């Protein structure tokens, strides 16, 4: 599939509509047999980046129909107000994103479902590309959409570099776009998980067919990364990660790669020119990743003692 022109992820989103979005305004020229794609966006205090996310969904170059559903975890900022301007339906549900995602799918009607996070922006042809993969390959049940990180400051540059090494690596990427019937057949996201749930679902989906891939990117807004907050976050999620490893270890070789620091370092050092194109960012990325694995390891071990 031919890659699309690069989308500038830092470009400001269009201004909010002055009135709530009316779905019929976008659908009058669409044929009745066009596929319906349900886009599910879980939110929690997502005001700073939600408009850019939802606007990128509504700006898709796509001849089919789009159903946009936001499931908010009782935000205390203006998240709900922004969602009402763009979404077809806005719900409130918690306590974690897996529950929000499954709930959103249960309220949707699409032949296909696409689950994204509220800090993501979509390249303009993503929906068309994903639908094309599944319609032209009946044996395919899901689609991987590669991600590119961006943000503000030095650590965001380090995170962008790190994530760039994962593009095209099967054991790091996970599908987000699915045939609805297969998503429901496997039971959706495992709501007992808080960490590793994307890998878990993608691996269960793959048991029912092939996972396709497109070249169009999702742009993930990392914001301004604070290293201390990042490693504390890794500590928290690592405490929850045992649920994923216990469920999947032995079923797939992916788990050993996903949890092994040496597997990551092999990826990084396999491309030394890329890693050290900017030496300061390269060293910073390695330092940040080592800190994340260190705090994550402590979190994982402490969770086993409880």
Per-residue CA distances from 152 to 64, 212, 220, 281 (Å)? 35, 32, 12, 13
Per the domain annotation, does 247 fall within a domain?
A: no
The pLDDT, as a whole number, for residue 304 is 66
Residue 115 inside a domain? The answer is yes
In a domain, residue 81? The reply is yes
Residue bearing tokens 């540059």? 157
The arithmetic mean of pLDDT across residues 186-210, rounded, is 95
Is 263 within a domain?
no
Residue 67 placed within a domain: yes
**How far apart are alpha carbons 190 and 198 in whole angstroms?**
9
Residue 269 neighbours by CB under 8 Å, 6+ apart? 275
The whole-chain average pLDDT of the chain stands at 88
What's residue 26's pLDDT? 34
Run of H or E including 114: strand 112-115
Give the alpha-carbon dihedral of 120, 124, 127, 131, to 10 degrees. -140
In a domain, 283, yes or no: no
3-state secondary structure at position 164: helix
pLDDT in tens, 103-148: 999 999 999 999 999 999 999 999 999 999 999 999 999 999 999 9
Range scoring the smallest mean pLDDT among 32-36, 198-202, 240-244, 257-261: 32-36
pLDDT band (50, 70, 90) for residue 297: confident
Tell me the per-residue pLDDT of 236-279, one tens digit each, with 9 for 90 and over: 877 777 888 889 887 888 888 888 889 999 999 999 999 999 99
> What's the chain's length in residues?
306
Boundaries of domain holding 188:
34-225
Beta bridge partners of 28: none
**Cα–Cα distance between 296 and 177 in angstroms, integer?**
28
* Residue 135: CATH number of its domain: 3.90.550.10
Is 5's pLDDT higher than 80?
Answer: no
Residue-level pLDDT at 4: 36
Task: List 65's β-bridge partners, or say none.
Answer: 36
- The percentage of the chain sitting over the pLDDT mark of 90, rounded to a whole number, equals 74
- The CA distance from 16 to 5, in Å, is 25
Separation between Cα atoms, residue 70 and residue 42, nearest integer Å:
6
Domain count, the chain: 1
Tokens found for residue 173: 């990427």
Q: Which residues pair with 113 in a beta bridge?
A: 38, 178
pLDDT given for residue 298 in this prediction? 84
SS3 (DSSP) at 110: coil
Six-digit token pair at 122?
A: 């979509």
Q: Is 271 part of any domain? A: no
Is residue 171's pLDDT more than 90? Answer: yes
For residue 150, being part of any structural domain is answered with yes
- Tens of pLDDT along 78-115? 999 999 999 999 999 999 999 999 999 999 999 999 99
Nearest to 221 by CA among 128, 116, 127: 116
């Amino acid at each position: 599939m031919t890659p699309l022109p690069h989308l500038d992820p830092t470009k400001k989103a269009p201004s909010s509509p002055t009135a709530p979005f009316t779905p019929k305004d976008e659908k009058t020229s669409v044929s009745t047999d066009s596929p319906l794609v349900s886009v599910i966006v879980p939110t929690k205090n997502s005001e700073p980046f939600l408009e850019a996310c939802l606007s990128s969904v509504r700006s898709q170059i796509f001849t089919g129909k789009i159903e946009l559903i936001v499931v908010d975890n009782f935000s205390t900022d203006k998240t709900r107000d922004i969602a009402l301007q763009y979404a077809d339906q806005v719900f409130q549900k918690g306590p974690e994103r897996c529950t929000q995602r499954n709930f959103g799918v249960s309220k949707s009607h699409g032949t296909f479902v696409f689950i994204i996070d509220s800090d993501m922006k979509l390249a303009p042809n993503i929906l068309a590309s994903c639908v094309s993969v599944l319609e032209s390959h009946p044996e395919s049940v899901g689609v991987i959409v590669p991600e590119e990180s961006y943000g503000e400051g030095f650590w965001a540059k380090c995170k962008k570099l790190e994530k760039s090494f994962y593009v095209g690596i099967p054991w790091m990427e996970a599908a987000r776009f699915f045939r609805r019937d297969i998503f429901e057949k496997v039971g959706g996201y495992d709501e007992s998980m808080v960490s590793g749930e994307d890998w878990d679902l993608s691996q269960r989906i793959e048991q029912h067919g092939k996972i396709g891939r497109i070249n169009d990117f999702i742009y993930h807004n990392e914001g301004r990364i604070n290293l201390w907050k990042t490693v504390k976050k890794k500590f928290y999620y690592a405490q929850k990660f045992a649920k994923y490893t216990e469920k999947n270890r032995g079923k797939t070789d992916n788990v050993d790669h996903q949890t092994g620091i040496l597997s990551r370092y092999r990826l990084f050092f396999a491309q030394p020119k890329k890693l050290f194109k900017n030496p300061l960012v390269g060293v910073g990325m390695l330092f940040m990743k080592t800190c994340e694995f260190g705090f994550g390891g402590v979190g994982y071990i402490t969770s086993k003692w409880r």
